[in-house]
């Protein structure tokens, strides 16, 4: 059997799951007396192919093309299909990455083949390979085998195999063979833009020394800029209690409380927040709590160090103005 | 878009790991174990294994969604686990049972405790703890319990059912897949057992679709409970009291409970029938007021609220029991109306219904026929068991109270001397939500705030329920037409959802233009199902949220 491992590079760096998959391939090869090759795809990636060649592989296939510089599912599928036509592997193994989830099923479908994704192991049952994948969040494991003829596709979950068990090449280095592929811009229907980072880490309220938090008392999203102006004047971050984020007036990562962030700033300014326990558990560790609320019976006053019973729409702009003034003088 | 689902096949799939579902699983595993031990020499029937029994539980762990008073009659448990007293967390046997009549400022103890309130030989327990323990036995027997998975849809086949589709995980608010999206599994089983508790969301659909209703619609109540740690010496472990009267008016049906547990812990709660006339009545507020009665004030003062919860219960009894066997399916426990509405006891009946279901299933699997032909042995077994005996005596009990306490006592007096027949048999019932009277312009009542010591507002109580849900998921409370809420319901009933929900999920929020709009804080939901039951237009459909969400009723 011929096994081909499809390695993954992203922005000029290895995805380490590639090595884990290569280790898996070596183990399968040992159990089934097969040969392992690996393929490296991209542009200017020859050094990476060299890195794989020192591992115990029969050969490393190097696929380079201008149009493979940035990842596209179309580009990878067209290229890999040609690689398969020349290399004729029986089993293709992938690391189960986001990128692989994107293109590998498509490649398998192009060839009319099935794919077993996200496997955590395999067994060799008298020459027949059985792949193991998790179900019910890991509560059970299902055994899956291929019904049709080769080539077969499978991907391994990250962490399922140990990269440090990779065997080195017995005689130093395997050959690196270039495979030229023909690929035209017309075949690639997607246009990759800049990579973006997840917005999650955009704001870290837990590190903010000053927080201005708004609650239902803010009444309408049009009034939020007033609170933001105050936060800016104080040099603090804006945050909110749950109803505000529920309404989508502020993003969820700015929510303080039992279902949001837990914070302990030096100053917590609570504007129009009633102080339901769900909110209080997220901010009671603040060193100084200042609360402004119309309702003198609002529970927030029980934990506030300073409280103002009053209208936030009078106090917010006045505070902002006073702060700006003291800064300029 | 058709979703491709992974399939898994089982012999038996039980939806819900409560007393009924777990008793069914354990009894069946025991039957299979015995069969496999004895039939080595003379193989009869197909090979069976406890591993082919699956149980789904939507809670984070077994017991997380279990709430009851609870006084447990150990009758069924003794059959299921004969040496249960050695290892079950029974807390404390009942030592004293009192029936108290409350007026606003005083209480009167009935000199003789009426027989339905007698509890000698029973135990005061935490149902959550008992279920957790039972779940351990079930897992040790080899049964697969899938926690954090709820039954979202039934798989229909022919005239019956062939399994369940679990809920999709990793969908965002708008139903779009997130990074961790996993479509629900299609679990197929020869027999699917619905053990979802009161107003099970799958049971409801099955009963509707297959017209399984009995002559009476199901009647429901809501129980609201707090667990307190009180000052030493205030209550003896095993002390049990039931209260009648204030603050429950005579045109309503309900009462309170006070159960002493060990270590100065006490369970207090109020049960109310969900068939009252005033749509702006607030059961949570009634419960809070009840706690200000001098009797409870003395008990709780200086103590600390430990946990809060709420749950609905089926009052309807024998004449509201849905047909409980179809091709490939059985209905057990509270889902199947196995509750004695007079004694308000259902744990032993739920367990027994599960055990009889297990016996039915075992015979069906051996015969290789799981159609309704063989599964219809289940209602027959019930009829021959003490379930029927207990429920038959009180078959007209709850209906008697649909027009208030006073008429109820007349009816039940006659039932008492005629073995349950009473003046009319069967006494018909109407659905509880039909009892609402229109508000006719009456302004909205002011909401109860609580003093933060003895009484609490709903949000504070919800906090003590330990309820958590993944925030970014589709709302699991489907309102068929929110326009009705904002127009018709405002006028006619003043939006009862704001009042009956014990978890502050529903709110009519004022828009900037002055109009009202329904706002649903689904993450507060304690899974009591009251909204699904008590909404006057029956347009709220409670469906399972992402598994693992919901309350944490540890110790409840």
Q: Give residue B234's pLDDT.
A: 95
Q: What is the pLDDT of residues A54-70, one digit of tens each?
A: 999 999 999 999 999 99
The answer to whether position B556 is within a domain reads no
Q: Give residue A202's pLDDT.
A: 63
**Domain co-membership, B418 together with B358:** no
A residues 226-265 lying closer than 8 A (beta carbon) to B: 242, 246, 252, 258-259
| Residue B408 banded pLDDT, cuts 50, 70, 90 | confident
The answer to whether position B499 is within a domain reads yes
Q: What is the pLDDT of residues A24-38, one digit of tens each?
A: 999 999 999 999 999
Q: What average pLDDT does the segment A172-189 reach?
A: 94
Q: Give residue A203's pLDDT.
A: 76
Q: What average pLDDT does the segment A295-306 reach?
A: 93
Q: Give residue A252's pLDDT.
A: 86
Lowest mean pLDDT among A36-45, A71-80, A191-200, B384-393: A191-200
**Domain co-membership, B147 together with B187:** yes
Domain boundaries, chain A: 2-187, 200-328
Suggest the residue from A277, A280, A282 to mutate for an interface test with chain B (most B CBs closer than 10 A): A277
**Domain co-membership, B24 together with B151:** yes
Residues in chain A with CB shorter than 8 Å from the CB of B148 are: 137
State the burial class of residue B437 (Cβ atoms within 10 Å of its Cβ: 0-12, 13-18, 19+).
Answer: exposed
| Residue A81 banded pLDDT, cuts 50, 70, 90 | very high
Contact B49, B377 (CB under 8 A): no
The answer to whether position B33 is within a domain reads yes
Cβ–Cβ contact A278 with B under 8 A: yes
The answer to whether position B273 is within a domain reads no
**Domain co-membership, B411 together with B338:** no
Q: What is the rounded CA–CA span in Å between residue A90 and residue A4? A: 8
Q: What is the rounded CA–CA span in Å between residue A51 and residue A20? A: 14
CB contact under 8 A, A219 and B149: no
CB contact under 8 A, B144 and A297: no
Residue B76 CB neighbours (<10 A): 26
CB contact under 8 A, A299 and B452: yes
Q: Where does B404-475 have alpha helices with state H? A: 405-417, 458-463
Q: What average pLDDT does the segment A297-301 reach?
A: 93
Q: Tokens 């005579």 correspond to what residue? A: B250
Q: What is the pLDDT of residues B423-457, one digit of tens each?
A: 888 999 999 999 999 999 999 999 999 999 999 99
Read off the CATH number of the domain in which B348 is found: 3.50.50.60
Superfamily of domain A2-187: HUPs (3.40.50.620)
**Domain co-membership, B362 together with B463:** no
pLDDT of B246 above 70: yes
Q: How many beta-carbon pairs under 8 angstroms link A with B?
A: 38
Q: What is the pLDDT of residues A216-247, one digit of tens each?
A: 999 999 999 999 999 999 999 999 999 999 88
Chain B residue at shortest CA distance from A101: B179
Q: Give residue B511's pLDDT.
A: 83
The percent of residues in chain A predicted with pLDDT above 70, rounded, is: 98
Nearest CB neighbour to A136, from listed B146, B452, B463 = B146
| Nearest of A67, A84, A49, A56 to residue A177 by alpha carbon | A49
Q: What phi, psi does A117 have (nearest 5°)?
A: -100, 155
pLDDT of A329 above 90: no
Residues in chain A with CB shorter than 8 Å from the CB of B460 are: 276-277
Residue B406 domain boundaries: 397-426
Q: What is the pLDDT of residues B15-73, one digit of tens each?
A: 999 999 999 999 999 999 999 988 665 556 678 999 999 999 999 999 999 999 999 99
Lowest mean pLDDT among A89-98, A296-305, B32-41, B183-192: B32-41
**Measuring CA to CA, how many Å separate B65 from each of A48, B263, B441, B456, B468?**
53, 23, 39, 22, 12
Q: What average pLDDT does the segment B120-149 reach?
A: 96
**Domain co-membership, B11 together with B152:** yes
Q: Give residue A135's pLDDT.
A: 83
**Domain co-membership, B464 together with B519:** yes
Smallest Cα distance from A62 to chain B, Å: 31
Listing from the earlier edge strand, what are the strands of the sheet with B123-124?
Answer: B71-72, B123-124, B92-93
Residues in chain B with CB shorter than 8 Å from the CB of A139 are: 144, 146
Smallest Cα distance from A276 to chain B, Å: 7
Q: Give residue A206's pLDDT.
A: 83
**Domain co-membership, B344 together with B482:** no
**Measuring CA to CA, how many Å separate B130 from each of B31, B75, B91, B97, B238?**
22, 14, 10, 22, 17
Final residue of a domain: which of B378, B393, B408? B393
**Domain co-membership, B382 together with B462:** no
**Domain co-membership, B404 together with B490:** no
| Residue B522 banded pLDDT, cuts 50, 70, 90 | very high
| Residue A264 banded pLDDT, cuts 50, 70, 90 | confident
Q: What is the pLDDT of residues A103-158, one digit of tens each?
A: 999 999 999 999 999 999 999 998 789 999 988 877 788 999 999 899 999 999 98
The answer to whether position B83 is within a domain reads no
CB contact under 8 A, B471 and A258: no
Q: Which two tokens stand for residue B243?
A: 């209260």
Q: What is the rounded CA–CA span in Å between residue B163 and residue B9? A: 9
CB contact under 8 A, A277 and B459: yes
The answer to whether position B353 is within a domain reads yes
The answer to whether position B92 is within a domain reads no
Nearest CB neighbour to A258, from listed B148, B463, B472 = B463
Q: Give residue B402's pLDDT.
A: 83
Q: Where does A171-296 have alpha helices with state H? A: 224-234, 242-246, 277-280
The percent of residues in chain B predicted with pLDDT above 70, rounded, is: 98
Q: Give residue A159's pLDDT.
A: 84
Residues in chain B with CB shorter than 8 Å from the CB of A252 are: 471-472
Computed over every residue of chain B, the mean pLDDT equals 94
Q: Tokens 């069924």 correspond to what residue? A: B76
CA B311 to chain centre: 6
Computed over every residue of chain A, the mean pLDDT equals 92
**Domain co-membership, B389 together with B402:** no
CB contact under 8 A, B460 and A259: no
Q: Give residue B375's pLDDT.
A: 97
CB contact under 8 A, B146 and A139: yes
Q: What is the pLDDT of residues B450-507, one digit of tens each?
A: 999 999 999 999 999 999 999 889 999 999 999 999 999 999 999 999 999 999 999 9
Q: Give residue B42's pLDDT.
A: 55
Smallest Cα distance from B132 to chain A, Å: 18
Smallest Cα distance from A46 to chain B, Å: 32
Q: What average pLDDT does the segment B362-382 reach?
A: 96
Nearest CB neighbour to B463, from listed A135, A252, A277 = A277
Note whether A2-187 and A200-328 share their fold.
Answer: yes
Please list the residues that pair with B255 across neighbouring strands: B271
Structural domain count, chain B: 3
Smallest Cα distance from A207 to chain B, Å: 23
The answer to whether position B336 is within a domain reads yes
**Domain co-membership, B344 together with B491:** no
State the burial class of residue B149 (Cβ atoms within 10 Å of its Cβ: 0-12, 13-18, 19+).
Answer: buried
Long-range contacts of B455-461 (CB under 8 A, 24+ apart): B455/B288, B455/B289, B455/B291, B455/B292, B456/B288, B456/B305, B456/B308, B458/B284, B458/B502, B458/B503, B458/B504, B459/A276, B459/A277, B459/A278, B459/B504, B459/B524, B460/A276, B460/A277, B461/B226, B461/B284, B461/B308, B461/B502, B461/B503
Smallest Cα distance from B307 to chain A, Å: 14
Assigned architecture for domain A200-328:
3-Layer(aba) Sandwich (3.40)
Lowest mean pLDDT among A197-211, B29-43, B203-217: A197-211
């Amino acid at each position: 059997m011929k096994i081909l491992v499809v390695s993954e590079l992203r922005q000029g760096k290895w995805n380490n799951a590639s090595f884990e998959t290569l280790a898996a391939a070596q183990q399968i090869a040992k159990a089934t007396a097969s040969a392992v090759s690996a393929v490296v795809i991209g542009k200017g990636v020859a050094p990476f192919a060299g890195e794989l060649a020192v591992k115990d592989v029969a050969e490393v296939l190097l696929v380079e093309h201008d149009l493979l510089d940035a990842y596209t599912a179309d580009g990878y599928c067209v290229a890999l299909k040609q690689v398969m036509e020349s290399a004729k592997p029986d089993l293709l193994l992938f690391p189960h990455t986001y990128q692989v989830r994107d293109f590998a099923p498509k490649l398998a479908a192009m060839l009319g083949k099935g794919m077993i994704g996200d496997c955590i192991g395999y067994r060799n049952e008298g020459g027949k390979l059985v792949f193991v994948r998790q179900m019910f969040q890991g509560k059970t494991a299902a055994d899956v085998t291929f019904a049709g003829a080769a080539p077969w596709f499978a991907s391994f979950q990250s962490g399922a195999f140990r990269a440090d068990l990779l065997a080195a090449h017995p005689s130093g280095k395997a050959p690196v063979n270039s495979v030229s592929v023909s690929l035209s811009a017309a075949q690639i229907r997607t246009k990759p833009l800049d990579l973006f980072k997840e917005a999650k880490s955009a704001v870290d309220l837990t590190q903010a020394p000053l927080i201005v938090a708004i609650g239902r008392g803010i009444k309408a999203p049009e009034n939020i800029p007033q609170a933001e102006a105050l936060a800016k004047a104080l040099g603090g971050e804006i945050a909110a209690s749950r109803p505000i984020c529920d309404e989508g007036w502020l993003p969820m990562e700015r929510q303080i409380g039992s279902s949001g962030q837990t914070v302990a700033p030096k100053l917590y300014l609570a504007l129009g927040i009633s102080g339901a326990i769900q909110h209080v558990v997220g901010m009671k560790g603040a060193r100084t709590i200042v609360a402004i609320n119309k309702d003198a019976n609002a529970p927030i006053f029980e934990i506030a160090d300073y409280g103002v019973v009053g209208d936030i729409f009078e106090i917010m702009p006045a505070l902002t103005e006073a702060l700006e003034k003291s800064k300029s003088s | 878009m058709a979703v491709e689902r992974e399939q898994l096949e089982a012999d038996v799939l039980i939806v819900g790991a409560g007393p009924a579902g777990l008793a069914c699983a354990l009894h069946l595993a025991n039957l299979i174990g015995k069969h496999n031990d004895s039939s080595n020499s003379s193989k009869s029937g197909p090979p069976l294994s406890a591993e082919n029994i699956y149980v789904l539980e939507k809670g984070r762990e077994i017991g997380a969604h279990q709430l009851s008073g609870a006084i447990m009659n150990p009758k069924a448990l003794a059959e299921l686990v004969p040496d249960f007293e050695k290892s079950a967390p029974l807390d404390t046997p009942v030592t004293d049972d009192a029936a108290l009549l409350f007026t606003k400022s005083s209480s009167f103890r009935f000199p003789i405790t009426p027989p339905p309130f007698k509890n000698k030989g029973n135990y005061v327990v935490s149902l959550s703890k008992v279920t957790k323990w039972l779940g351990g036995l079930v897992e040790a027997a080899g049964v697969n319990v899938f926690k954090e998975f709820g039954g979202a849809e039934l798989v229909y086949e022919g005239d019956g059912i062939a399994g369940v589709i679990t809920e999709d995980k990793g969908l965002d608010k708008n139903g779009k897949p997130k990074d961790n999206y996993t479509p629900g599994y299609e679990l197929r089983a020869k027999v699917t057992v619905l053990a979802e508790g009161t107003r099970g969301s799958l049971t409801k659909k099955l009963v509707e679709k297959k017209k399984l209703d009995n002559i009476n619609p199901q009647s429901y109540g809501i129980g609201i409970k707090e667990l307190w740690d009180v000052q030493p010496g205030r209550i003896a472990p095993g002390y049990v009291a039931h209260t009648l009267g204030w603050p429950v008016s005579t045109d309503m049906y309900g009462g309170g409970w006070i159960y002493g547990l060990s270590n100065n812990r006490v369970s207090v709660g109020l049960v109310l029938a969900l068939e009252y006339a005033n749509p702006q009545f607030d059961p949570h507020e009634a419960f809070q007021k009840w706690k200000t009665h001098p009797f409870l004030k003395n008990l709780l003062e200086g103590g600390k609220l430990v946990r809060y919860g709420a749950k609905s219960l089926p009052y309807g009894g024998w004449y509201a029991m849905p047909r409980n066997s179809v091709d490939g399916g059985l209905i057990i426990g509270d889902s199947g109306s196995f509750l004695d509405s007079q004694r308000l006891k259902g744990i032993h009946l739920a367990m027994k219904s599960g055990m009889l279901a297990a016996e039915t299933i075992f015979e069906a699997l051996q015969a290789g026929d799981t159609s309704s032909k063989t599964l219809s042995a289940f209602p027959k077994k019930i009829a021959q068991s003490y379930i029927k005996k207990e429920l038959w005596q009180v078959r007209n009990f709850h209906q008697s109270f649909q027009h208030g306490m006073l008429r109820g006592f007349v009816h039940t007096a006659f039932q008492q001397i005629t073995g349950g027949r009473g003046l009319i048999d069967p006494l018909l019932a109407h659905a509880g939500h039909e009892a609402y009277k229109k508000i006719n312009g009456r302004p909205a009542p002011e909401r109860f705030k609580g003093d933060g010591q003895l009484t609490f507002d709903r949000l504070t109580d919800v906090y003590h329920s330990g309820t958590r849900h993944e925030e970014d998921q589709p709302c699991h409370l489907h309102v068929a037409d929110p326009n009705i809420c904002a127009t018709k319901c405002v006028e006619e009933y003043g939006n009862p959802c704001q009042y009956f929900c014990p978890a502050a999920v529903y709110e009519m929020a004022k828009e900037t233009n002055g109009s009202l709009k329904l706002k649903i804080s689904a993450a507060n939901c304690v899974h009591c199902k009251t909204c699904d039951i008590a909404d006057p237009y029956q347009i709220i459909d409670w469906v399972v949220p992402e598994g693992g969400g919901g309350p944490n009723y540890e110790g409840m």
